[in-house]
Amino acid sequence: MSRNNITRIVMLVAGAALLGTATASVVAAPIKIDAAVAPVPAAEGDGRIVEQRPCDFPFDSYASWLSFIHDRQARGGDAFDEPAFRAAYPASAFHALVGGREVECWQITYLSGGLKVAGYVVGPRGRTAAPRPLVIFNRGGNRGFGRLVFTNLVDFARWSQEGFVVLASQYRGGPGSEGDDEFGGADVDDVMNLFGVARELGNVDMRNVFMQGVSRGGLMTYLALQRGAQVNAAAVVGGPTDLSLEADHRPEMQALYRELIPNFDADPGAALRARRVLDFADRLSAPLLILHGGADWRVDPQQALALAQRLQALQRPYELLVYAGDDHGLSRNGDDCWRRMVGWFRQHMK
């Protein structure tokens, strides 16, 4: 087995054996694309943009944004690591987004399963002779919790500064969207139908499509790959791979599953098995970059390690990095995490 096929990077928390044993509508498209091989929408109209408008920004200066974040953290009793935040969300990305000269940002509504679903498209301003690579970003949380906010847009602007277009969905049941959140059920269609959205955009290179998922968005990424999402590579931060283990680790999750997953009480085991990534790891053909915090209390890092071990056995291309002592959102190492994702995607460009 060649090192070119599989790379493992593991940073363990000191003293912890993590491995165990071993708002007006605009019709014009914001950013047009060549034909490409991508999942075909399941229903007529799916993946079609029905509304779009320029993004609204709540802050007009980087300093006012930092002040807001600092005050919010203080109210919650949380420390604010300003240097780490500045590194992960630099002033240059803020100004590129808010200034509007380098980056354009659009709020969109698109069709998925007959529902209107909200999302965003962010990309470099202006046309180029060469089409732009695409990142499909899958958010975490559920319904309104973990929704896409201004911080995400600054992150997307940073990707745009690197030449990428970013597409992201609020999912059904999320802010501005119709329908109900199913936590990895029919809402996976909302991710798959972003390929159709991409067909309506301009100057996007569908030969170079990548996917990034954070937390629950990691699960959505794995499920999309299982469904045949054709991407060059994917990156997952803090993603769960076994919801049963997640409920053991955090018992309150059982109530969330019951509330969101259709017919959960009729057969909880079947509902969770359908979302158990280890059971369909053999269908994860895209090279995977798996990033996790060693002190993540939301999703136990053992879940990332278990998937890495399964991919190792399958001889699938992946890279694993566990940041010792870091949290669910990798707040200490956000900049390093982002740089690794950019490098991973560039490594797998055609």
Q: Taking the domains of the chain in order of start, what are their residue ranges?
A: 49-241+276-347
Give the pLDDT mean for 325-339: 97
Q: Is 51 helix (H, G, I), strand (E, B) or coil?
A: strand
- The strand pair at 132-138 and 115-124 is best described as unpaired
Q: Is 20 exposed, middle or buried (0-12, 13-18, 19+ CB in 10 A)?
A: exposed
pLDDT band at 197 (very low <50, low <70, confident <90, very high): very high
pTM of the model: 0.89
The pLDDT of residue 126: 84
Q: Is 204 helix (H, G, I), strand (E, B) or coil?
A: strand
CATH superfamily of 49-241+276-347: Alpha/Beta hydrolase fold, catalytic domain (3.40.50.1820)
Question: Amino acid letter at 87?
Answer: A
Total length of the chain? 350
Closest CA to 264 of 169, 184, 348, 174: 184
The pLDDT of residue 128: 77
Lookup: tokens for 55: 């993004």
Lookup: tokens for 341: 């994702």
Contact 214, 221 (CB under 8 A): no
pLDDT band at 228 (very low <50, low <70, confident <90, very high): very high
Give the pLDDT mean for 99-114: 96
